[in-house]
Amino acid sequence: MKKAWLVTTALCASLVSGCGLTDTPNELMRAPSADGDQKSINQAVMQFLPAGSQLSVPLHPAEASAVSLQDLNGDGVAEVVAFYKTEKTDYEIGVLVLTQKQGNWEKLSSFTGVGSELDYVSFQDLTGDKIPEMLIGMGGGEDLNKELSVYSLANNMTQELMKQPYTIMAVGDLTGDNQEDLALVVLDKNNFTSKAELYGAANGTIAKKTELALDGYVNGYYQAIIGKASPTRNGLFIDAGLGAHSASTELLLWDNGQLSNPLAKIEGEMDLTFKPYSLESEDINGDGIIEIGTKIQPAGTEDLAMAEIPWVSSYFQWDGKTGLKHIEDHYQNYSQGFDLKIPAKWGEKYTISINHDTNPLLVRFQYYGANGKNKAELLTLQSIPQNEWIKFESGLKQKQVPYILLKEEGKQVLIAILPQTTPTLGKAALAEYRSMQLTAEEIRQLYKPMTNRE
């Protein structure tokens, strides 16, 4: 069932304790706006929620919400599913299921689970009957494993189909049979063991297909995602933290009824997916295939402390065998919320410097030729606080400095400034430098906004 955002600020405002557990009331509800009447849904949820309840927004996935419309029994009519916590206890999360009969909402089912946080909520068909089940993951806090329960709705009753512990999880078609699979990654820090378990449809229910032992000496997991590993193969990408900030990625494939890892580290050899700082696997270039990211140092930054290095995110795809092929590089600044794709024509003959002591923040991209003997400005990105922008822009115009406005909304304005003078370089170096220069249109195409993670 397709879903779209439906804002229910009236619902939030009417609850006894307000939004309580969320600072983003627009995320309280996801539902198809064509289904049902928003006002009646708001009233129904408020009517059946226990007194003093607070709606609870799931932590994962990003699009999950506290209230959803879902057809849970396949009759073509959507049920309302709401998640909440009460003032009575910090370790109990409630689930409320409402159904509509003759234009009126009625309580169909309600139950509670043990947990201090609602970690995961999704509605997926895991049994193969074309009707979604409720996947509800609850946790007890940081560094503790969580527990996933899968419920179905039949004969106006909710039935728990499975309950399993997990550290991190993913849902998707891993086996390539056009049916959703459930992958659970379970880390036991006490016994230094870890494993990936795969579940899927079997005779109308959910059964374990296989499992694979993983490195139990990781620090933890921060993402699992199922997606295309190549044009013809799907994969499970598991991003793990190793030390204080370093990380690595496991790629698991479905091979003849078992899970395999084509990028498994060989003793004595370099881990192909090692990164000094964590970086989530994602489809960075929009081709439908998931890339594995690593971090690389720009040239000339070898003497900087780890925390001062302007790390570049370098993305790779599985090569279909036991290696990786390079796709593209990006400079990603989470605090300022921007991503600049490094143009291919720069190759490795560029460097990046950041002046942290200035306001506004300056990020300079420079030509770096002959091992640093030839340097010249290629591009400067400048971030200005929104409340200072009018004055700053006036100064730019007075000095006749042309700029490219990249981002104006939010707390920061981001501009790009191209060099206005020709650098003093030798003939060959100058020709190389000019071949690396960017136009305003190229910069706009290379830039994209990104979510602030700090």
pLDDT tens track for 410-422: 889 999 999 999 9
- For 405-430, the DSSP string reads EEE-SSSEEEEEE---S-----HHHH
Asked if residue 141 and residue 185 are part of one domain, the reply reads: no
Which amino acid would we find at residue 26?
N
Which tens digit of pLDDT belongs to each residue from 306-352?
999 999 999 999 999 999 999 999 999 988 899 999 999 999 999 99
> Which is more confident, 56 or 142?
56
Give me the mean pLDDT over the 82-99 stretch: 93
Asked if residue 268 and residue 212 are part of one domain, the reply reads: yes
What is the chain's mean pLDDT, rounded? 90
- Residue 264's alpha-carbon distances to 183, 213, 273, 318, in angstroms, are 18, 12, 9, 12
Find out whether 152 and 127 touch, Cβ atoms under 8 Å.
yes
pLDDT of the residue at 36: 45
Find out whether 449 and 337 touch, Cβ atoms under 8 Å.
yes
Asked if residue 221 and residue 118 are part of one domain, the reply reads: no
Q: The domain that contains 200 carries what CATH number?
A: 2.130.10.130
**Chain centre distance of CA 321:** 27
Find out whether 329 and 340 touch, Cβ atoms under 8 Å.
no
Asked if residue 149 and residue 63 are part of one domain, the reply reads: yes
Per the structure, the count of domains in the chain is: 3
Counting residues of the chain whose pLDDT is more than 70, the rounded percentage is 91
Which tens digit of pLDDT belongs to each residue from 227-285?
999 999 999 999 999 988 999 999 999 999 999 999 998 888 889 999 999 999 999 99
Asked if residue 299 and residue 207 are part of one domain, the reply reads: yes
1 assigned to some structural domain: no
pLDDT at 185 > cutoff 50: yes
30 assigned to some structural domain: no
What whole-number distance in Å separates Cα of residue 208 and Cα of residue 195? Answer: 13
pLDDT of the residue at 32: 41
- Residue 110's alpha-carbon distances to 106, 158, 237, 360, in angstroms, are 11, 9, 35, 53
- Residue 175's alpha-carbon distances to 201, 212, 232, 400, in angstroms, are 11, 15, 11, 59
pLDDT of the residue at 113: 94
What whole-number distance in Å separates Cα of residue 401 and Cα of residue 392? Answer: 11
Asked if residue 258 and residue 389 are part of one domain, the reply reads: no
Asked if residue 237 and residue 185 are part of one domain, the reply reads: yes
Which of 336, 369, 385 terminates a domain? The answer is 336
pLDDT of the residue at 7: 31
User: Given pLDDT bands bounded at 50, 70 and 90, which one contains residue 104?
Assistant: confident
Which of 336, 367, 399 terminates a domain? The answer is 336
75 assigned to some structural domain: yes
48 assigned to some structural domain: yes
pLDDT of the residue at 193: 98
Which tens digit of pLDDT belongs to each residue from 281-307?
999 999 999 999 999 999 999 999 999
Asked if residue 311 and residue 174 are part of one domain, the reply reads: yes
- Residue 390's alpha-carbon distances to 341, 380, 417, 426, in angstroms, are 28, 19, 17, 40
User: Given pLDDT bands bounded at 50, 70 and 90, which one contains residue 58?
Assistant: very high
Burial class (CB in 10 A: 0-12, 13-18, 19+), 321: exposed
342 assigned to some structural domain: no
241 assigned to some structural domain: yes
pLDDT at 19 > cutoff 60: no
Asked if residue 109 and residue 254 are part of one domain, the reply reads: no
User: Given pLDDT bands bounded at 50, 70 and 90, which one contains residue 22?
Assistant: very low
Give me the mean pLDDT over the 166-180 stretch: 97
Find out whether 85 and 21 touch, Cβ atoms under 8 Å.
yes
Asked if residue 190 and residue 132 are part of one domain, the reply reads: no
User: Given pLDDT bands bounded at 50, 70 and 90, which one contains residue 28?
Assistant: low
Asked if residue 219 and residue 131 are part of one domain, the reply reads: no
Q: The domain that contains 153 carries what CATH number?
A: 2.40.128
Q: Which three-class secondary structure state does DSSP give residue 78?
A: coil
Domain containing 267 equals 167-336
Which tens digit of pLDDT belongs to each residue from 106-125?
999 999 999 999 999 999 99
pLDDT of the residue at 452: 57
Asked if residue 199 and residue 159 are part of one domain, the reply reads: no
370 assigned to some structural domain: yes
454 assigned to some structural domain: no
Which of 164, 184, 203 terminates a domain? The answer is 164
pLDDT at 27 > cutoff 80: no
